[in-house]
Chain A
Amino acid sequence: MAWFKKNGLWITVHFAALIPLMWLLIDFWFDNLTVNPVQNITIRTGDTAIQLLILSLACTPLNIIFGWKQVLPLRKPLGLYAFMYASLHFLTFIGLDYGFRWGLIYEATFEKQFALVGFFALFILTLLAITSNRWAMKQVGKNWKRLHQTVYGAGLLAALHFMWARKLDLDPEALLYGGVIITLLIIRLPQIRKLFTNFRQKRKASLAATE
């Protein structure tokens, strides 16, 4: 039981992050990917990628607001899973959708600005993924933290990518994603962060005083 208490959250995250992939494979197997399977796979891998990325971004703010230290180690697996789904999403685009026809892909990427934005987001995630292991951490040294803060840039680009892919400029779902990412970013700002930590400390102190 103690073991589960220690590892339960971590295992849940791994399991949950793999469910969308398993579900996709099951639907593929049973030919249940709608009449437009390529679009279905594109949408599903993309949605999962941005959702996992947001969850990864939410860990630090959750610690700031509620003092949940146990979610901090989840940033890495969540981020890596987001990278995995983003890669699948990209491979679907160039392989399944455009059949590796580079001329068409080039045209689509530069005509569809949202594809370009998505590409940049994936580029950032790729950099972060290859520098996420201990060895690379040592190599990058003291700039590692700064490098990995660009994950917020990836998040914002992903939200913009999503927004532009929709039919309407101000798509509600896209606004929700963008709004959540910006909120998470604001909570991290040093001044705001201090506000929350001070509040928590005061509350802790007052609770201790009343006991």
Chain B
Amino acid sequence: MQIKSSEITPEHIYLTRRRFMVGVGALVTGALVSSCGSKTESAPAIAPVQAKTIATPTPRPVATIANPTAASASTSEPAAAATPYVEPAEPFASVKADELGDALNSYQEITNYNNFYEFTTEKEGVAAMSTNFKTSPWTVEVGGLVNNPKTYDMDDLWRKFTQEERVYRLRCVEAWSMVIPWLGFSLAALLKEADPMSKAKYVRFETLYDPKQFPGQESAWYTWPYIEGLRIDEAMHDLTILSTGMYGKRLLPQNGAPLRLVVPWKYGFKCIKSIVRIDLVEEMPTSLWMAAAPREYGFYANVNPDVPHPRWSQSTERRIGEWSRRQTLPFNGYAEQVSSLYQGMSLQANF
């Protein structure tokens, strides 16, 4: 477990680059900010942030979303392909903190500290290992127990579904956490279009299997490819998104490009990366971690300070960027929105 500090962009280089980009991107960023209007300027207010990012997620007002008519249920190809998504030159978020007032983690932090065993088990090594990962062309097959199976390419997904900014806390089962401004769309919207049959009870997700690009998949210690699953009501929940970007930028490979799941009230490993298949199924899917260590990783994996991992406590966590620990919140702070999903269920037994 040698650290590979050489693989991390030294801060001075990063900062220099940043300064450079600030210059280049000033106009663009300026335009973005002004398009956000007063919302950006009044960012410190907590209530509006909550309203915007949690209670009623509204489309991010940034005028770079490909297709404003995406919300329509029409399954036909969009007649007029709008201008493709234009990334801001600088990582951009419309707010500085989440609805609890916790500051966003920096783009630098989020893109250099990743659990992505398909590349390497070293969190600091993923960024360097993943630079050549090919995310285009990329298709996502939606099938299984649905009336309307379909294979989407990434452009379809960008165009068809409203991309919104969602600021969520991410809590890793290893007891560290971050606050991340994702860009993405509601999984429910995609599932509605696929039209699940009544038999469908679960959603099963699958990561790309390609040991040439994912050297970690050569390891016989795990059953590749990575599989994750959600109960259908969890999948349809308003907070659940498929993410396409982060800080206004398209996702980088280390964060699960081009498409990943984000379920903020569950441990990070539920948020499967680089998805190629989404199937509606009748039986509860067995995730990679459930197969690897069934005593330790359950299907639900809801963030719960009162249910310790068999080998370590989950009652506290370290927010990346902080030196001291903080208390872990039930359902990662989203209990109000999601606890009703688990009414009458033992959270101890269904860990």
Establish whether residues A114 and B312, one from each chain, have CB atoms under 8 Å apart when the complex forms.
Answer: yes
Q: Shortest distance in angstroms between A54's beta carbon and chain B's nearest beta carbon?
A: 14
Cα A108 to Cα B308 with chains together (Å): 10
The answer, among A31, A97, A98, A173, for a CB contact under 8 Å with B1, is A173
Among A34, A38, A104, find the residue whose CB has the most chain B CB atoms closer than 10 A: A34
Interface string of A100-115 (1 = CB under 8 A from B): 0000100110011110
- Alpha-carbon gap, A47 to B2, bound state (A): 8
B112 in contact with A35 (CB, 8 Å)? yes
Is B8 a contact of A168 with CB atoms below 8 Å?
Answer: no
- In the docked arrangement, what's the CA distance between A204 and B315, Å? 62
**Bound-complex Cα distance A44 to B324 (A):** 19
A137 at the interface (CB under 8 A from B): no
Q: Which residues 96-146 of A sit at the B interface, judged by CB distance below 8 A?
A: 96-99, 104, 107-108, 111-114
Interface membership of B313, Cβ < 8 A: yes
What are some 29 contacts across the A-B interface (CB < 8 A)?
A: A27-B3, A27-B5, A31-B11, A32-B5, A32-B10, A34-B124, A35-B108, A35-B109, A35-B320, A35-B321, A36-B113, A36-B318, A36-B320, A39-B176, A39-B318, A43-B1, A44-B1, A47-B2, A99-B324, A107-B315, A111-B308, A111-B313, A112-B313, A114-B311, A114-B312, A164-B311, A167-B293, A168-B292, A170-B221
**With A31-B11, A38-B318 in contact, is A108–B313 under 8 Å at CB?**
yes
Residues of A within 8 A of B112 (CB): 34-35
| Whole-angstrom CA separation of A114 from B221 in the bound complex | 21
Chain A: number of interface residues, binned into ranges: 20 to 34
**CB atoms of B311 and A112 under 8 A apart:** yes
What is the CA–CA distance of A34 and B293 in the complex, to the nearest angstrom? 28
Q: Are B312 and A112 neighbours in the complex by a CB distance under 8 Å?
A: yes
Assuming the contacts A35-B112, A168-B221, asked whether A98 and B325 have C-beta atoms less than 8 A apart, the reply is yes
Question: For the complex, is A172 an interface residue (Cβ under 8 Å from B)?
Answer: yes
**B258 nearest CB across to chain A (Å):** 24
- Write the chain A residue with the least CB distance to B222: A168
Determine if A34 and B113 form an interchain contact, defined as CB atoms under 8 angstroms apart. yes
B9 to nearest A CB, angstroms? Answer: 11
Dominant secondary structure at the A interface: helix
Smallest Cβ-Cβ distance to B313: which chain A residue: A111
Task: Give chain B's interface secondary structure class.
Answer: loop
Q: In angstroms, how far is the closest chain A Cβ from the Cβ of B288?
A: 11
Chain A CB within 8 A of B316 CB: yes
A97 to chain B, nearest CB (A): 7
Q: Are the C-beta atoms of B221 and A172 separated by less than 8 Å?
A: yes
- The interface size bin for chain B is 20 to 34
Report chain A residues within 8 Å CB of B318. Answer: 36, 38-39, 97
Kindly supply a per-residue 1/0 record for chain A positions 42-83, scoring 1 wherever the CB is within 8 Å of any chain B CB and 0 otherwise.
011001000000000000000000000000000000000000
In the bound complex, CA of A89 to CA of B180 (Å): 30
Contact with B along A8-49 (1 / 0, CB 8 A): 000000000000000000010001101111111001100100
By a CB distance below 8 angstroms, the chain B residues around A164 are 311
Complex CA–CA separation, A99 to B325 (angstroms): 8
C-alpha spacing A114/B308, complex, angstroms: 13
A73 to B312, CA, bound (A): 39
User: Given the complex of chains A and B, what is the CA–CA distance between A96 and B3 in angstroms?
Assistant: 19
B311 nearest in chain A by CB position:
A164
Closest CB in chain A relative to B312 CB, distance in Å: 4
**Contact among A104, A113, A172, A173 for B325, CB-based, below 8 A:** A104
Which residues of chain B are near A34, meaning CB under 8 Å? 3, 5, 8, 112-113, 123-124
Shortest C-beta distance, A107 to chain B (Å), equals: 6
A111 to B308, CA, bound (A): 7
Task: Give which listed residue, A99, A114, A167, contacts B174 with CB less than 8 A.
Answer: A167
- Known interface pairs A39-B318, A112-B313, A170-B221; 4 further A-B residue pairs with C-beta atoms within 8 A, sorted by A's residue number: A27-B5, A32-B10, A35-B109, A36-B176
**B176→A47 contact, CB < 8 A:** no
Inter-chain contacts of A32 with B (CB < 8 A): 5, 8, 10-11
Cα–Cα, bound, A172→B216 (Å): 13
Determine the distance from Cα of A99 to Cα of B322 in the docked complex, in whole angstroms.
12
What separation, in Å, do the CA atoms of A114 and B309 have in the docked complex?
12
Q: Which of B3, B109, B313 contacts A44 (CB 8 A)?
A: B3
Expressed in whole angstroms, the minimum distance between the Cβ of B60 and any Cβ of chain A is 26
Q: When the two chains form the complex, which single residue of B3, B11, B312 contacts A111, counting CB atoms closer than 8 Å?
A: B312
Most chain-A CB neighbours within 10 Å: which of B10, B174, B311, B316?
Answer: B311
Check if B3 sits within 8 Å of A35, measured CB to CB. no
- The 8 Å CB contact of B3, one of A38, A40, A97, A170, is A40
Which residue, of B3, B308, B315, B318, has the highest number of chain A Cβ atoms within 10 A? B3
In angstroms, Cα B123 to Cα A33, docked, is: 12
Q: How far is the CA of A32 from the CA of B312 in the complex (A)?
A: 27
In angstroms, Cα B296 to Cα A164, docked, is: 12
A2 to B109, CA, bound (A): 53
